A and B are shown apart, each in its own frame.
Chain A
Amino acid sequence: MPEYVHNHGPCEQSVTIHRMRSWSVRNARWLEVVYGGFELVLRTINPVFRLIGYKRLDKLFVAVEKIIKVSLFDSQSCGQCILSVTGMSCPMNCPKKIRNGPCGGVHVDGTCEVDPHMPCVWVLAWEGNKRLRVDEYPIQIVQPPVDHRLLGTSAWMHMLQRETQPISSQTTANNEV
């Protein structure tokens, strides 16, 4: 195997990131509540956003969302957030980009098949799911494939726009659950 493939050892920065990911999952229950509350606030003031115009707010939304989600969940900003389904573990950190994990290759100690220096994000997602206050695990919902047009955009913005637009004009029709 060429050296450049697996040379990223557990550097200090990635250890911190992995600790943070585990922390968000351990605290999935209240984080999910707070996160849900935050989305509700956004929805409530949605008419104001609409008045200002989504286009004008786009950059601001992307920036704010990134700061919050990257710092809390090591989010990769896919623009179609499913953190509430994955027990607050961002699935885009999975090297195979699996939206319905975990794969069969997880190591016995729960580390990732592809990058053994990190815990499998879907093992964390299951841990997070078990901490949610729900009857049915949301991880069981079959997720559609990623819409690559949305990468790097704001998932909140899409959520708000969806609420105000008629169903027929939504761009992500085939990407809904």
Chain B
Amino acid sequence: MRFDDEPLVSGEHLPIRSDHDSRGRLERVLRAGVFAVTAELAPPDSSYPEEVYNRAAMFDGHVDAINATDGSGANCHMSSVAMCALLTRRGYSMVMQISARDRNRIAIQGDVLGAAALGVCNILCLTGDGVEVGDHPEAKPVFDLDCMSMLNMVRGMRDDGQFLSGRKLTSPPELFLGAAANPFGPPLDYRPHRLAKKVAAGAEFVQTQYCFDLEKFRNYMSAVRDLGVHEKVYILAGVGPLASARSAEWIRTNVPGVHIPDNIIRRLQGADKQNEEGVNICIDMINELKEIEGVHGVHIMAYRQEHRVVEIVERSNVLEGRELWHPGVARDEEPALS
């Protein structure tokens, strides 16, 4: 998507607008009131930059921003800051996830400054899964901060131009701040209030856990609207393709926080090609979610099925004809957003 103040060199940052916090495309798209699409990308188990570029290229022209996960599921991968650094230089709009599990406040603040210097415009603060579920269960869980205190801290760096200690920064980071939300975890009646609290702590956008239970999500959104929170934060609903009924069963018993209702599993079981049906379910979800008031976009998490994201975006027509910027796209070819 091209803006009227697009930089001359394709891939460089956009100028910052007076009412914006960052130079990033994600903030631009959301504040323009467009239904946004983001996707998650796990950094590789590799030190080879081409692997990062190849992975990101899978989404070219189909997503507004890419989330770089930070040791998701408490498994070890390339750091999110490094993956973001590689990709922002090519012009990608990155959402850098930071988990409170692995680093203390000194390390995180250092990374926030470093990431901003490397061109990262969006940071998403997470508490993180416990080390017990990952591949290094014997590791020391840090949890010096939690997602809320981290949000508050990063916002303080941006808005007050200071570290948590009060020491001044010479140049504060320009960042659009995000958080995660799980509308499906107990206590269900607290979850909308928790979203309000994240907004109070500094969240400007949230990406939710996988939505497979539309009824629960609709109830959640109606409570969110009652609190007026949907007007203060951009909500991107989480979706993703399930590979098979068996993998859905595995996910719901083993991945913390993911709720998959029985009817979804039955729908997968009844299909000839279960992985195709997984994609169909994902597309149906997107179309339903798009209609819910207060939902500003979708966040596609297709772990190990990243190659299916393009198909999901195209078949659901979620972009509604929008052409997205990606490296290599010639400047003139992009239609301007009027």
Contacts and interface: CB of A to CB of B under 8 A. Distances in A.
A98 B144 CA distance: 9
Most A CB within 10 A of own CB, among B147, B148, B180: B148
Interface string B181-211: 1100111011001101100110000000100
B186 A143 contact: no
Interface string B136-162: 011001011111110011000000000
Nearest to B129: A105
Given A95-B130, A100-B146, A100-B148, A145 B187 contact: no
Contacts of A101: 146
Contacts of B182: 104-105
A173 B166 contact: yes
Contact of A6 (B132, B144, B185): B132
Contacts of A100: 146-149, 197, 201
Given A113-B257, A114-B130, A145-B144, A104 B164 contact: no
- Chain A, interface size category, equals 35 or more
Interface residues of B, number: 41
A144 B132 contact: no
A124 to B, nearest CB: 9
B22 to A, nearest CB: 22
A140 interface: yes
A134 B64 CA distance: 43
Contacts of A140: 193, 196-197, 200
Nearest to B202: A142
A139 B128 CA distance: 20
Contacts of B196: 140
Contact of B193 (A109, A123, A137): A137
Contacts of B190: 102, 126, 139
B49 interface: no
Nearest to B163: A174
Contact of A142 (B138, B149, B181, B193): B149
A19 interface: no
B259 interface: yes
Contacts of B201: 100, 142
Given A103-B127, A113-B130, A174-B165, A96 B146 contact: yes
A162 interface: no
A96 B197 CA distance: 19
A106 interface: yes
B256 interface: yes
Interface in A66-112: 95-110
A133 to B, nearest CB: 18
Interface string B113-129: 00000000000000111
B105 interface: yes
A109 B185 CA distance: 9
A100 B165 CA distance: 20
Contacts of A146: 144
A105 B148 contact: no
Contacts of B209: 104
Given A1-B132, A2-B137, A104-B209, A123 B187 contact: yes
Nearest to A95: B130
A6 B131 CA distance: 12
A5 interface: yes
Interface of B: 100-101, 105, 127-130, 132, 137-138, 141, 143-149, 152-153, 164-166, 180-182, 185-187, 189-190, 193-194, 196-197, 200-201, 209, 256-257, 259
19 contacts: A98-B127, A98-B143, A102-B185, A102-B187, A102-B190, A103-B146, A103-B185, A104-B182, A105-B130, A105-B256, A113-B129, A126-B187, A126-B189, A137-B193, A142-B149, A142-B152, A143-B148, A144-B149, A144-B152
